[in-house]
Amino acid sequence: MKKWKCTVCGYIHLGAEPPEKCPVCKADRSKFILLEEESTPLPLDSGHLQGTGTDPFSAWKCHACGYPHTGALPPETCPVCGSGSEKFEHQDARPNITPLPMEQPAAAEMKASPAGSQVQGRLETILAKMAELHAHPIAVHIPNGVLPVSFIFLLSALLFNSPTLEKAAFYNLVVVLLAMPTVLFSGYNDWQRRFGGHMTRVFRTKMVCGGAVQVISLVLVLWWLFNPDLLLKSGAPGRGLFIALYLVDLACAVVAGYFGGKLIVFPEVRQRKKN
């Protein structure tokens, strides 16, 4: 069995040949490299950024987003967060303590305008802390967890003709609606700070699905408020469309959660298995 590594996302494949497409990032087989069981680390003083590296299996890590790369040299641009090659460290190198580019404008503003710099500085601190403490993965558990529960209450209300279960479904949906602004804002903050605002299919899909959950949940709540007899009243017009829209809302939340896990959780699991 040979070990192959996707140079885009770090996925490890075992087999005689690399897969046709990476199951994680969908890169084609040309992006896979063959890993050897043993490789010689690249010396720290070999001048890797000047092109003097010789080991094609040296391990590098993006200091901005944690993306792993294998090769004699780091890539010119990180495929995940868009950082330059100077942000890549050899796996045995000391941590780079140079501030990230996104932190520099705030520092410049603090020197230019002391009055507004305090507010800006506090805001930057809060936003950076949100990313550091994983505010988005925490907040996104609300729609991903509560929306399926709301739908289960909805089906149970229809099955047992229960106004109590119907209210439970409605209130859970309201919780999802109220949580979505925090989910969307923290997600945008993570995208900017952890991934440098680099737009890919994964981020685009997450944004579209997140926006859809916000809009559809608002439509469902308003529809429910203005037509409270929609579900339990026999022959109520629009009930089928309402339930179908509920399913679309749930599907959008599931897709957004899947891609979020693919982006954050799966690479960390692969890294732990590797270590």
For range 14-32, the mean pLDDT? 83
User: Which residues lie closer than 8 Å to 187 by C-beta, 6 or more apart?
Assistant: 136, 140, 206, 207, 210
Strand, coil or helix: 61 = strand
> Looking at 145-159, 208-222, 258-272, which range is the least confident one?
258-272
Q: How far apart are CA 11 and CA 5, in angstroms?
A: 6
List the structure tokens of 102. Answer: 């996104």
Strand, coil or helix: 68 = strand
The pTM is what?
0.60
Taking only the tens place, the pLDDT of each residue in 109-143 is: 444 456 567 888 888 889 888 888 889 989 999 99
257, 144 Cβ separation under 8 angstroms? yes
Query: 157 or 93: which carries more pLDDT confidence?
Result: 157
